[in-house]
Amino acid sequence: MPPDRDQPVRRHPLLAGVLLLALGVAPLPALAQARGDAGASFPSRPIRVIVPFGVGSVTDVITRVVMPSLSEALGQPIIVDNRPGAGGNTGTDLGVRAQPDGHTLIMSSASTLAVNGFLFRNMPYDMATAFAPITQINSVTNVLVVSPKLPVTSVKELIAWARANPGKLSFGSAGAGGTIHLAGEMFKALTGIEMEHIAYAASPAAHNDLFSGQIQLMFDGLPPALGHIRGGRLRALAVTTAKRSQLLPELPTIAEAGVPGYAVQGWNGFVGPAGLPRPIVDRLHRETVKVLALEPVRQRLLALGAEPVGSTPEAFGAHMKAEREMWGKLIAKIGLRLD
């Protein structure tokens, strides 16, 4: 008997899919992918953001300023997972080995994205190929500070004192190979003065020796140094960045103060493992830029000495490449190795 015209015709979904393919028509999920809608269902579960440095580090603090608002924008919890070790390589390697689906991301820094590959002989990842750039979150102002016991009040006086007292200057940092250490090495390279580097486990230990005059100077991040500068415990001579800081606008840059070509800036970047689909990158970039534009977030970052950036993935990738080239040349020149 012919089928009853009033009864619905039941079609098996598998047969329907085969028929569509035979006709050259993509099923709806594939169409959505082709139209760039793959990020529409992202995220589908909580997101883990790996911070490859300890709790309380500049990178950690900045992450915790940004992530609550980003969590709200994405509609999923964001778990901050601190995984310090090996100058940031341990946590970063964990992140780049994750499934590239956007649910594991990395909040990293110049050290892990542009420096460490030149310092460590056995790097667990390739700085040029392991990441999918999302956006540069911020730039961090660094500041040249000296002990109040050192009789200098400007960069030119510091250079003159160093030349008149060879072998008597030492500078501290919160760990060998970080951008704070390398800022000092660049200063040495451009001025030709002698300074011994002293590595500390963290900035507070270096600060204590600065207060007492055990070391004479430090190229410190503005966030940990600002309170000591305002309290008179440290004397600030200049900022290391290419432009002056909004927090200390009276301070010249080191280049302005007599060392042409000097410019060192800390920064943090939001990346995923290589292979992260472009629609997910775009969604993360779009929402992160919106968060960075929120006035409460912006003001909290500025108060930390961190200027919000929010660059495109392409611009961030180009920035990482330029930073790798700069630090690679300096590290090769001074012959620095950490393993």
pLDDT band at 169 (very low <50, low <70, confident <90, very high): very high
Rg of the Cα trace of the chain?
25
Is residue 272 predicted with pLDDT exceeding 80?
yes
Is-same-fold flag (43-140+266-334; 142-239)?
A: yes
| Cα–Cα distance, 210 to 196 (Å, whole number) | 14
What pLDDT does residue 205 have? 85
Is residue 262 predicted with pLDDT exceeding 90?
yes
Question: Is 197 in contact with 181 (CB distance < 8 Å)?
Answer: yes
pLDDT band at 5 (very low <50, low <70, confident <90, very high): very low
Least confident of 28-32, 304-308, 318-322: 28-32
Average pLDDT over residues 65-87: 96
Task: Kindly report the pTM of this predicted structure.
Answer: 0.80
The class that CATH gives domain 142-239 is alpha beta
**Which residues are within 8 A (CB) of 230 and not within 5 positions of it... i.e. 6 or more apart?**
none
Q: How many residues does the chain have?
A: 339
Question: Is 318 in contact with 96 (CB distance < 8 Å)?
Answer: no
- Compute the mean pLDDT over every residue in the chain, rounded to the nearest whole number: 88
Q: What percent of the chain has pLDDT over 90?
A: 70
What pLDDT does residue 34 have? 39
| Cα–Cα distance, 81 to 52 (Å, whole number) | 8
Is residue 7 predicted with pLDDT exceeding 70?
no
Is residue 124 predicted with pLDDT exceeding 50?
yes
**4 Cα distance to chain centroid:** 67
The class that CATH gives domain 43-140+266-334 is alpha beta
Is residue 74 predicted with pLDDT exceeding 90?
yes
What pLDDT does residue 38 have? 55
Q: What percent of the chain has pLDDT over 70?
A: 88
What pLDDT does residue 226 have? 86
Residue among 307, 295, 183, 297 at smallest CA distance from 245: 307
- Domain spans of the chain? 43-140+266-334, 142-239
Higher local confidence (pLDDT), 320 or 2: 320
Is residue 9 predicted with pLDDT exceeding 60?
no
Token pair listed for 335: 């012959």
Predicted confidence (pLDDT) per residue in 42-59, tens digit: 999 999 999 998 888 889
Is residue 2 predicted with pLDDT exceeding 60?
no
